[in-house]
């Protein structure tokens, strides 16, 4: 399995207020703040990482919070929904928690034999909590208010909304080796057998829906996981041979990446497990200080002066 796509690595979205983002994901949803760093292409903006205790692939949700940014609109050519795996017994807890914290949510529904709760973050980013059919044995991060019995385990999967699903489905099956696993209406499910969790991609075909527009509350890109750089470069060759414009290997400090835009318009990334989030601070101190890539360290004082406070 080492030369395969191993499900999802991370998903990156856009937010408005950084402090509101941190408060929601750490306090309401109960995720761990893994890293406070900056957008490598725009160091005046945070890049915030959330996940489990050690930032395991398949649990990592990241944000670029642009203060005062306009709200985007989910639509075709986008990742429109992110789903987290939770125990089925946790639904009552989450319904009560969302009500208490004024989180927009819907009553439980069912899809592909799995019950789920749809909800939104403060910027309108769309999520689902899913009681997966396969038992999820991942050890969750827990807080004083969200204990291990109810906490999110990591990603269940993601939904891509497209005007035409065919070319995207071909990438999933022919390049990433996902398998078509079912259809409900205009929703098509694909799964990988290489991992048990973070293994699901749904394609929703919506030819008459408006194209999405980027902004706060929308997803920027979705990253698929590989073991290491050797496998990463194997996929680069494979994708380039199919005629896609794919980047060279990029060092993101905590993983190495490639990017290409699939025919439906969604930005795909492939990211490695290595070197991981313990490279620049101990695991028991993750997310406790602002970490800058080496090229920006000489500008630390100027960068800290423009970044909004998170406490």
pLDDT tens-digit profile of 198-225?
A: 999 999 999 999 999 999 999 999 999 9
According to DSSP, the residues that pair with 39 across neighbouring strands are: 42
Query: With the CA atoms of 300, 56, 17 and 26 taken in that order, what torsion angle do they form, in degrees rounded to the nearest 10?
Result: -110
Give the count of domains, the chain.
1
Domain-located, residue 220? yes
Percent of the chain with pLDDT over 70: 100
Q: How many CB atoms lie within 10 A of CB 240?
A: 13
Greater model confidence, 235 or 311: 235
Domain-located, residue 22? yes
Return the structure tokens found at 168: 């995207």
| pTM of the predicted protein model | 0.97
Closest CA to 307 of 72, 66, 123, 122: 66
Instruction: Determine contact, residues 158/79, Cβ cutoff 8 Å.
Output: yes
Domain-located, residue 2? no
Domain-located, residue 3? no
Domain-located, residue 60? yes
Domain-located, residue 56? yes
Domain that holds residue 118: 8-306
Domain-located, residue 311? no
What Å distances lie between residue 113 and 24, 116, 126, 178, 183, CA to CA? 29, 10, 21, 20, 12
Question: Mean pLDDT across the stretch 89-116?
Answer: 98
CATH number at residue 141: 3.10.180.10
pLDDT digits (tens, 9 = 90+) for 249-285: 999 999 999 999 999 999 999 999 999 999 999 999 9
Helix/strand/coil for 25: helix
Domain-located, residue 1? no
């Amino acid at each position: 399995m080492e030369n395969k796509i191993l499900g999802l690595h991370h998903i990156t979205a856009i937010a408005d207020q950084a402090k509101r983002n941190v408060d929601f994901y750490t306090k309401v949803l109960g995720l761990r703040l893994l890293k406070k760093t900056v957008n490598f292409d725009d160091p005046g903006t945070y890049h915030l990482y959330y996940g489990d205790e050690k930032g395991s692939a398949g649990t990592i949700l990241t944000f670029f919070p642009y203060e005062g940014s306009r709200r985007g609109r989910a639509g075709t050519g986008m990742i429109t929904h992110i789903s987290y795996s939770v125990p089925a017994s946790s639904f009552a807890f989450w319904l009560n928690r969302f009500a208490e914290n004024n989180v927009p949510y819907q009553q439980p529904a069912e899809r592909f034999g799995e019950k789920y709760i749809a909800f939104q973050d403060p910027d309108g980013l769309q999520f689902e909590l899913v009681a997966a059919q396969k038992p999820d044995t991942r050890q969750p991060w827990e807080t004083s208010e969200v204990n291990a019995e109810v906490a999110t385990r990591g990603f269940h999967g993601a939904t891509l909304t497209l005007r035409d699903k065919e070319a995207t489905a071909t990438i999933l099956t022919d390049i990433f080796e996902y398998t078509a696993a079912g259809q409900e209406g205009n929703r098509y499910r694909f799964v990988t057998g290489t991992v048990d969790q973070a293994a699901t991609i749904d394609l929703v075909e919506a030819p008459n829906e408006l194209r999405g527009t980027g902004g706060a509350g929308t997803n920027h890109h979705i990253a698929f996981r590989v073991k290491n750089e050797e496998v990463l470069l194997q996929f680069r060759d494979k994708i380039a041979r199919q005629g896609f414009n794919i980047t060279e290997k990029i060092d993101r400090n905590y993983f190495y990446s490639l990017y290409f835009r699939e025919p439906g318009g969604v930005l795909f990334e492939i990211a490695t497990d290595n070197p991981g989030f313990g490279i620049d601070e101990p695991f028991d101190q993750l997310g406790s200080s602002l970490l800058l890539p080496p090229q920006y360290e000489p500008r630390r004082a100027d960068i800290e002066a423009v970044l909004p406070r998170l406490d």
